[in-house]
Structure 1
Amino acid sequence: MLQEFKDFIAKGNVMDMAVGIIIGAAFTAIVASLVGDIINPIIALFTGGIDFSGWFYTLDGSTHASLAAATEAGAPVFAIGKFIMAVINFLIIAFVVFMLVKMVNRVKAAAEKPDDVAPEVHTGPSQLDVLLEIRDSLRK
């Protein structure tokens, strides 16, 4: 069993996956900072400083000053604002990832494209030319 585990770990796919997870964790921190520190303040500027995360409804009808107070009091809370912010953050992160993938694909395409494209060389008559020649010979 230990040998099987060693073989599994030694495979290239597992190592690629591990590197991807580590880079993904670092990328998550960068994107979270981009969303929280740069994009959300811009959204707040355009929406007049509205903070969606404070929007909530208590399901039992009680009133509380804030979401934290309602949660602390043990009231059943429908935290619509947190959900709205999660959706906004998801859309922003998805757009950033889309742009990153688009950029990587563009770089890959440029790297795979040969610099010197050799012109097509015709070594003889095409198939159509040969067939036309045969047709003309049969007519004669």
Structure 2
Amino acid sequence: MINEFKDFIAKGNVMDMAVGIIIGAAFTAIVTSLVGDLINPIIALFTGGIDFSGWFYTLDGSDQSSLDAAREAGVPVFAIGSFLMAVINFLIIAFVVFMLVKMVNRVKAAAERPDEVVPEVKSGPSELDILIEIRDALKR
């Protein structure tokens, strides 16, 4: 059983997956900070700081002053504002990730593209032409 475990761990796929998960966690922190600390304040500047997270309905008809108070009281709550904020944040994060991937692909394509393509200049007959001439000369 230990040998099977060693074989499993030693496979390249497991190590690649582990590196991917670690890099993904670090990338998540970067994207979360980018959206929360840089993009959301700019959006709040233009929208006047609209926050839907306090928009909720109690399903039992009771009157609650805030969503947190309703949840603490154990009241069934339809928290439409929290859902809307989650959808808006998802769309912002998806757009930011799209732009980052697009930028990385552009940089990767520029790195893979050769700097300058030098046309091949033929100076005289090719090796094949010379061999054909030799063959024809031997036939004669």
RMSD, matched Cα = 2.1
AA at the equivalent of 1:13? N
Structure 2 residues without counterparts, runs of 5 or longer: 126-140
Deviation at 1:58, TM superposition (A): 0.9
Supply the distance in 1 between the matched residues of 2:111 and 2:39 (Cα, whole angstroms).
Answer: 32
Aligned identity (percent) is 86
Supply the distance in 2 between the matched residues of 1:82 and 1:40 (Cα, whole angstroms).
Answer: 16
Equivalent position of 2:58 in the other structure? 58
Deviation at 1:12, TM superposition (A): 1.7
AA at the equivalent of 2:22? I
Supply the distance in 1 between the matched residues of 2:105 and 2:39 (Cα, whole angstroms).
Answer: 25
Shift >4 Å, 4+ stretches = 120-123
Supply the distance in 2 between the matched residues of 1:34 and 1:115 (Cα, whole angstroms).
Answer: 33
Supply the distance in 2 between the matched residues of 1:110 and 1:97 (Cα, whole angstroms).
Answer: 20
CA pair 39-116 structure 1, distance change in 2 beyond 3 A: closer
Equivalent position of 1:75 in the other structure? 75
Supply the distance in 2 between the matched residues of 1:15 and 1:27 (Cα, whole angstroms).
Answer: 18
Question: Bigger shift: 97-106 or 108-117?
Answer: 108-117
TM-score scaled to structure 2, two decimals? 0.77
Supply the distance in 2 between the matched residues of 1:89 and 1:111 (Cα, whole angstroms).
Answer: 33
Supply the distance in 2 between the matched residues of 1:115 and 1:26 (Cα, whole angstroms).
Answer: 33
Equivalent position of 1:119 in the other structure? 119
Once the two structures are superposed, the pairs formed by residues 10-49 of structure 1 within 5 Å of their partners are 10-49=10-49
Deviation at 1:65, TM superposition (A): 0.8
Structure 1 residues without counterparts, runs of 5 or longer: 124-140
Supply the distance in 2 between the matched residues of 1:36 and 1:112 (Cα, whole angstroms).
Answer: 34
